[in-house]
Amino acid sequence: MDVLRPTLIQIGGRVYRKSLVQEPVHPQEEEEDEGFYAGPGDCADEPCDAFVVEETEKGFQCRVEVPSPLYKYIIGKKGETKKRLETETRTSISIPKPGVEGEIVITGQQRGGVISARTRIDVLLDSFRKKQPFTHFLSFALTQPEVQERFLQFKEEVLEKCSKDHGVSSSLFQNPAKLHLTLGTLVLLNEQEIRKACELLQRCKEDFVDQITGGSPLAVEVAGVEYMNDDPAMTDVLYAKVRMKDGSDRLQAIADQLVERFVASGLMLKEWDRVKLHATVMNTLFRRDPGAEERSSTAPGKASLKEREAFNARNILKLFEHFYFGEVQLDAVRLSQRFSTDASGYYATSGQLNFC
């Protein structure tokens, strides 16, 4: 990281500098200890409405809801991060036992110190949450029998006509029972966060989805194939394109607004200005792990591009440019659980937004 140009993190409308603190490396502890210092927007010296600070008989306190998998980032190596936070802000930080869901409680004699500790904890959590592999994703299932049959026909014909092309093999193809459109990925680390995501889905239904759909399924056609990267001879992801049968942009509008709302809630990271609607049919990640899901950018828990063996998709693109996979009636957005399977073969669903 460039010391003169530190990473800036925006939380609650305020901007903070992220500074790397170098500390001794302890055996079997690989995690970086990062220090965070409030910049010009520090609310320690002014009223802060981003969270509630309660006055008590002994001073002030603030409660923070934190998923238990993130406790270790507040504690740090041998408790050093917690100790430093407490020393620098003159507060006491109480953290539940590992694996026990609860609240982190910050107490101190000075309101400014409690606010400063809370702000630094928020920045720490925001940084480390971004490093977690995603656990759920919003999806449209493309599991109608017609589409699955046409996909299997596509697979058979590709292997028949293009199997001699570099890197092309049966291991690249998506499981037909898991064909889907991904709208966005989420890191949900406990039941409370899953419940929050489900509740947000229902609010989206009331706020704009019902108005766009009119309470009816969306008729979508899945046709044609395209590749993700710049060179078709070195392809990692090949996908089927989707379009509304009536030519409207209603599907795109729902996808974009859903992602916008989830990003605003803090449950999802913004990756693109618009959702790229696509159904992955071939992916080099599947070559190593048939259960892998694609993500548009390299992230923890995912193989880097250097570890993926690309395939030559030129002939596939030429021969199957207009391949028709079928028509789908989209009637729900699902909160799908990564690395899971339900009775139908699709991903297990933690919640869903029904169109009708």
Look up residue 243 and give its two tokens: 């379009």
SS3 category, 341: coil
Q: What are phi and psi of 91, to 5 degrees?
A: -130, 170
SS3 category, 354: strand
Strand segments, DSSP code E, in the chain are 7-11, 14-20, 34-38, 54-56, 59-66, 91-94, 102-108, 136-141, 180-186, 218-227, 237-244, 278-283, 324-330, 332-337, 349-354
Specify the pLDDT at position 43: 46
Give the pLDDT confidence of 257-312 residue by residue, as tens digits.
999 999 999 899 888 889 999 999 999 999 887 666 644 443 444 444 457 899 99
- Write the DSSP symbol of residue 46: S
Specify the pLDDT at position 17: 57
Specify the pLDDT at position 298: 39
pTM: 0.79
Which residues does residue 107 pair with via DSSP β-bridges, in sequence order?
61, 92
Domains and CATH numbers, the chain: 53-131 (3.30.1370.10), 136-288+309-354 (3.90.1140.10)
Specify the pLDDT at position 14: 53
Look up residue 188 and give its two tokens: 């949900």
User: Which of 1, 101, 125 has its CA nearest to residue 51?
Assistant: 125
Q: Which residues of the chain have pLDDT under 50?
A: 3-4, 21-47, 294-305
Specify the pLDDT at position 269: 87
